[in-house]
Amino acid sequence: WYQRRVREAVVSTQSTGYMSLILKQLFTTFIMGGSLTGPITRGNALQGRSQAMKGVSEVHAVNKNRMFPPFPEGTKSAVFGMGCFWGVERSFWKIKGVYSTQVGYAGGFTENPTYSETCTAETGHAEVVRVIFHPDQVTFSALLKNFWEKHDPTTKDRQGNDAGPMYRSAIYCTDEAQLEIAQKSAAVFQQNLKDRGVTREISTEIKIDPVFYYAEDYHQQYLHKDPGGYCSMKGTGVTCTL
């Protein structure tokens, strides 16, 4: 976690206030146990901006497919939060049938947030990966299997050393059909955990929320650009029987 923060302090050129925002996030996470303002709502979240993130490449660094709509006819999308989005994105771009992946922010209130703003825990957003996939080549259930097995959905607002609501476990669905499948998969994996002696409850946020904001370009396909970069992904060791 600290390795990631040091790396981000070096590579980020977004704002002269970046380090103060990171120090604020450290304080709220470890001293206050969350946001300085309490639960984040639309009324108290950071305001954000109407302008979308600039400078994001239009071409996926790994598979050379599109990063922005329009995507190929027949493709679908789903958004997953599993902690630090660097390793999460890599786990999905490796899956056959996935057309493209993009890292970003979702589930909160701030319009077009930056990374440094999200790190304050005052946007309401989680770090996420949007997966664009061909449903005739890979099912939504197969993506969910990757989701459940590659992180620990029982640790609320934390994955490994990464702590805070931006690292929460989340599935943001595009429609009712996805929502039903995701909710049923959670029940399946909860039973899988119980069968292996894990008594902790799944804390994953599951809801319909198609709004996705792109993260900065240097975050996109980060572990392809820096294969030795920070990755906090660690599952429970339990197989999901979807």
Residue 18 CB-half CA count within 13 A: 15
Q: Which residue is it, tokens 């929320």?
A: 209
Annotated active-site residue 240? The verdict is no
What does the block give as tokens for 2?
A: 């600290």
- 197, with CB counted inside 10 A (0-12, 13-18, 19+), is exposed
What are the angstrom distances between the C-alpha of 202 and each of 189, 198, 206, 214? 9, 10, 11, 27
What are the angstrom distances between the C-alpha of 23 and each of 5, 47, 83, 113, 232? 10, 20, 19, 18, 21
Residue 133 CB-half CA count within 13 A: 24
Instruction: Let me know: does 211 contact 108? Beta carbons within 8 Å.
Output: no
Catalytic residue among 84, 119, 231, 240: 84
3-state secondary structure of 227: coil
3-state secondary structure of 221: coil
Instruction: Supply φ then ψ for residue 32, to 5 degrees.
Output: -90, -15
Report the catalytic residues: 84
